[in-house]
Structure 1
Amino acid sequence: MSALPLIAVVGPTASGKTALAVELALATNGEVVSADSMQIYRGMEIASAKPTKAEMRGVLHHMMGFLDPETPYSVAAYVRDAAACIREIASRGKTVIVAGGTGLYIDSLLTGTAFVETPSDPALRRSLEAQYDAEGGEALRKRLADVDAETAARLHANDKKRIVRALEVYLQTGTPPSRLSAESHNAPPPYRPVFLGLAFHDRAALYRRIDRRVDEMLRAGLLDEARAFFAGHAATAAQAIGYKELKPYLDGEVPLETAVDALKRATRRYAKRQLTWFRRNEAIHWIYPDACTPDAVLAQALAIIKAVNVCPDK
């Protein structure tokens, strides 16, 4: 079976991925599969920058808002569910457009670097989480590096969830997660993606867009959404950019301006990490929105897609 062609739109937060994905879907008879680890949850519409109905412009979007925030959800589960969406979309003769900024989702789905679906061990996981909290992230990341340098090199010391999961997989199977992943992907890759990346020559231009987005989120009701989310899903909210930075204000500990500044700084740091992640993918065709008009961004993207022929025959 030949690899399925598809389009992947990647890049940092606030770079214009959603708008470009929608334009491409309209131009190529496509549908969008989200690759965002926060947009999968219900009730996080504003904080996760989930596109509104107006922004979707009639384009079907998948892998959004289908999961309760308290439901555990692994990278392997995302790969499984997104793959099912992709097959269904392609079966209807539509172009598949994967769009998002969660690098691990993108890589796991499209380049075959997912952790395999190893059953979780809640007791072992709690033990590892306690060790992480007691010893620090760098200590556990180094412990992971001793048994799986490849996986450790991909993870930041602050990535508690994935460091713990990698160690859990190793301790359960006796095999490094990177080796398990490689062994599970010996078959020919199922997809033939063309990667379109959005970046900025002037990093300050991206940061200004981030600041504007945060201001727009606040006007749209982010404070009320955060307040409601903390009331029902405190554990998830405590990890989510857009909520955790606002908690000191909601608790009456700091002025709103201080919390908003913290949120903007955290989002800028997240964007920097996203860019660092995606820059490692040499297959990405980079487009720079700060160097051209939105129409030119779309024209460049369509030219790249045409050159590599990833759209189904109409």
Structure 2
Amino acid sequence: MTKQEVIIIVGPTASGKTEAGLMIAQQIGGEIISGDSMQAYQGLDIGTAKASVEERQAVPHHGIDIKTIHEAYTAADFKERAAGWIEDISRRGKVPVVVGGTGLYIRALTRNFDFQKSAADPQYRLTLEHQLEQHGKQWLHEQLRIQDSEAAERIHPNNARRVIRALEILKQQGGRTIAFSEQEEAESPYTVRMIGIDIQREVLYKRINDRVDQMAEDGLIEEAKWLLENAGPDVQAAKAIGYKELFPYIRQECPLEQSLDTLKQHSRNYAKRQLTWFRNKEDVEWMDMTVTSSAAKETKLLSYLEGIRQPLSKGIQAGRKQRGDPDDETC
């Protein structure tokens, strides 16, 4: 059985993934699936750098504005939904183009991770959250290590939400959680071509700093205030980089400049982690897109696409025929 073909655009925050994804999707007759864990939330537009309304009209997008700020959106949710979108897009003769920087979400999709869908245990979760408050993250992580040392190795002590979820699964299933590392080498259910958008480090950091300043001008503070007032600081949406850094300013605990500086630093650190993840865990074809003009970027991307014969040639030809473009035998 022929596998469905999927292009995945990855890279650090502010590297230009959205722009690259749009260019590629328009050239091959593709539709975009957001692989960003925060773009799913309604009302969080500025801080998550969603594609504009005009861009979404030019190319169909999936995975944006599908959750309220009170709901969780997990890697398991994304994998299940994305699989459905890929099936639908492919069935209609289009090419799925996944664009995003959330490494675990992309890995879950490309390796078909089994997330062990155990029902939540609200009472036990409250107990764990109370223990977290009383004893701290390190103590809670040690409880996980005692029960499942492999799970503790995979989950950072600071990621209390995942530590709590792992402890829930252990209680419900009465045994060791299935290590994602055991699924790392599984064959992908898709034919994947993963393109990484690479930017010179100093240029990337300047883009991050400039983007934070622009977001602030565009209404990021008001968006963060709305999130805090309507959902509070403990929902998953409020944990995202871009919002939590502004809460101290909104509570009048520090100056705005300090919150923005913290946001810039956290964003730069996140960009480092994204690069480390994709370089260590994925088979990525990296493209240096330090060029500044859209025309130069489009030239590089088109040159790259013209060199692809398989597995995307069918998708490229299908996209061109749909738009009425002449066939190109060199593609």
- TM, length-normalised to structure 1: 0.89
Residues 1-314 of structure 1: matches in 2 within 5 Å? 1-56=1-56, 58-179=58-179, 189-200=188-199, 202-234=200-232, 235-236=234-235, 238-290=238-290, 293-299=296-302, 301-303=304-306, 305-309=308-312, 311-312=314-315, 314=318
Asked whether the 8 Å contact 2:10–2:195 carries over to 1, the reply is: yes
Write the distance in 2 (CA, Å) between the matches of 1:281 and 1:304: 25
1:166 deviates by 2.0
40-49 vs 127-136, which deviates more?
Answer: 127-136
Q: C-alpha distance in 1, partners of 2:196/2:151?
A: 24
Q: Kindly, what percent of the aligned residue pairs are identical?
A: 39
**Who wins on radius of gyration, i.e. which is larger?**
2
Aligned residue for 1:97, secondary structure, equals: strand
Distance 1:304 1:140, change over 3 A: farther
Q: Is contact 2:20-2:301 (8 Å) kept? A: yes
Alignment CA distance shift 1:277-1:154 (3 Å): farther
Find the residue that maps to 1:246 and give its secondary structure. Answer: helix
- Does the 8 Å contact 1:137/1:158 carry over to 2? yes
Question: Quick one: distance in 2 between partners of 1:8 and 1:128?
Answer: 37
Distance across 2 between alignment mates of 1:288 and 1:9: 13
Task: Give the 3 Å change call, closer, same or farther, for CA 215–304 of structure 1 in structure 2.
Answer: farther
3-state SS in 2 of match to 1:157: coil
- Distance in 2, matches of 1:76 and 1:209, equals 31
- TM-score, scaled relative to structure 2: 0.85
Equivalent-residue separation in structure 2 for 1:147 and 1:303 (angstroms) = 52
- 2:248 maps to amino acid: P
Is the deviation greater in 70-79 or in 190-199?
70-79
Amino acid at match of 1:229: L
**8 Å Cα contact 2:113/2:180 also seen in 1:** no
Of stretches 132-141 and 11-20 in structure 1, the one that deviates more from structure 2 is 132-141
- In the alignment, residue 221 of structure 1 is paired with which amino acid? G
Q: How far is the alpha carbon of 1:177 from its aligned partner?
A: 3.0
State the 1:149 CA deviation: 4.8
Please state how far the C-alpha of 1:128 moved relative to its aligned partner: 2.5
Q: Letter of the aligned partner of 1:205 in structure 2?
A: V
Deviations 1:274-293 (A, max 9, x none): 11211212411111212684
Shift of 1:248: 1.7
Q: Give, as a single letter, the amino acid of the residue that structure 2 aligns with 1:289.
A: M
Gaps of 5+ in 2: 319-331
Partner Cα distance (1:180, 1:256) in 2:
40
Which amino acid counterpart does residue 197 of structure 1 have in structure 2?
G
Structure 1 counterpart SS, 2:210 = helix
Q: Return the alpha-carbon distance in structure 1 between the equivalents of residues 99 and 224 of structure 2.
A: 25
* Counterparts in 2 of 1:255 and 1:138: CA distance versus 1, 3 Å: same
Q: For residue 226 of structure 2, what is the amino acid of its counterpart?
A: A
Aligned 8 A contact 1:19 1:55 in 2: no
Letter in 1 for 2:30: G
Count of aligned pairs between the two proteins: 311
Gaps of 5+ in 1: none
Cα distance in 1 for residues equivalent to 2:22 and 2:226:
30
CA distance in 2, matches of 1:189, 1:285: 17
Q: CA deviation at 1:219?
A: 1.5
Distance 2:134 2:197 in 1: 39
Structure 1 window deviating more from structure 2 (302-311 vs 233-242): it is 302-311
Q: Could you say if the C-alpha distance between residues 304 and 131 of structure 1 is closer, same or farther in structure 2, counting changes exceeding 3 Å?
A: farther
Task: Flag the 1:148–1:131 CA change in 2: closer, same or farther, 3 A.
Answer: same
Alpha-carbon separation, structure 1, partners of 2:138 and 2:279: 23
Letter in 2 for 1:220: D
Distance apart, 1:52 and its partner CA: 0.7
User: Residue 195 of structure 1 aligns to a residue in which SS?
Assistant: strand
Contact 1:113/1:182 (CA < 8 Å) preserved in 2? no
